[in-house]
Amino acid sequence: ATCTHKDRNDALHPLWQSPLSIPGGSRQSPINIQWRDSIYDPFLKPLKICYDPTTCLHIWNNGYSFLVEFDDSTDKSIIVGGPLENQYRLKQFHFHWGAINEWGSEHTVDSKFYPAELHLVHWNAVVYPTFEEAVMEGNGLAVIGVFLKLGAHHEGLQTLVDALPAVKHKDTVIEFDVFDPSCLIPSCPDYWTYAGSLTTPPLTESVTWIIKKKPIEVDENQLEAFRMLLFTSDGEEEKRMVDNFRPLQPLMNRTVRSSFQ
Ligand SMILES: CCCCNCC(=O)NCCc1ccc(S(N)(=O)=O)cc1
Ligand SMILES: [Zn+2]
């Protein structure tokens, strides 16, 4: 039988077979953001993003997505402000996407899916000695989510897309030594924020989510380039890396705040 819309997540990749959420999980991600239910918080500060492009290290295919990893041994690439009490160090960014443009993002806005979503992952090195420890703590991580929509060609993304054939298979890596991820973040300062979790194992409830209101535009060829990556290693039966997003999780007792009216 072919995968229907409902089954696609459960059948395609065991990782995303969700037991709804982890037992006892009260702040799981992703969620649907109902725009009219979000609450404007005038005390939210603007988010300050200061990245040093030379901290970029490499791109690797970890079998779930492709990650661009950064040297997080100093405070050279950080974010501060917004809903955050401390500054957070950039560790990596990655994407989630669909097999077709109708779906692919992890978060939805008023139940609308985008074809893809970018996650910029930061950790609280002020309070915790390592990323691994921060992953286990309620205020350990801050992830900026940016929606991708089908539209104009994205120049900045293209340098990344050009490198993807070199990381087609799981566990392949390529050096990538200068890239400024700010070029992937919309200039509009508006965002939603809520307390959530990692959307892949270990699914820990350690993430302050900062979801940008405005999407970035990418073209069809750039989305197709994501879809030619593989979940599988070289020599295994090929499985295209698509639909690597987790199903929506219950809001439970949470509010989503907005930085804008
Ligand atoms: C090499 C062994 C290290 C294990 N320890 C590393 C680890 O726990 N990593 C968790 C990584 C992760 C997962 C999901 C997101 S998302 N999609 O929520 O932004 C962000 C980051
Ligand atoms: Zn992610």
Q: What residues are paired with 217 via a beta bridge?
A: 149
Residue 220 in 3-state DSSP? helix
Residues whose CB is under 5 A from ligand 2 (ion)?
A: 119
Counting from 1 in the atom list of ligand 1, the atom nearest the Cα of 91 is 21
| 143 DSSP 8-state letter | E
Q: How far out from the chain centre does Cα 147 lie?
A: 9
Counting from 1 in the atom list of ligand 1, the atom nearest the Cα of 201 is 13
Closest listed residue to residue 120, CA positions, set 96, 85, 100, 139: 96
Please give the model's pTM, rounded to 2 decimal places: 0.93
33 CA distance to ligand 1 middle (Å): 23
pLDDT tens digits in sequence order for the chain, 261 residues long: 343 444 444 444 555 555 444 667 999 999 999 999 999 999 999 999 999 999 999 999 999 999 999 999 999 999 999 999 999 999 999 999 999 999 999 999 999 999 999 999 999 999 999 999 999 999 999 999 999 999 999 999 999 999 999 999 999 999 999 999 999 999 999 999 999 999 999 999 999 999 999 999 999 999 999 999 999 999 999 999 999 999 999 999 999 999 999
Best residue for ligand 1 mutational test, from 69, 70, 121 (most atoms within 8 Å of Cβ): 121
The ipTM of this complex is: 0.93
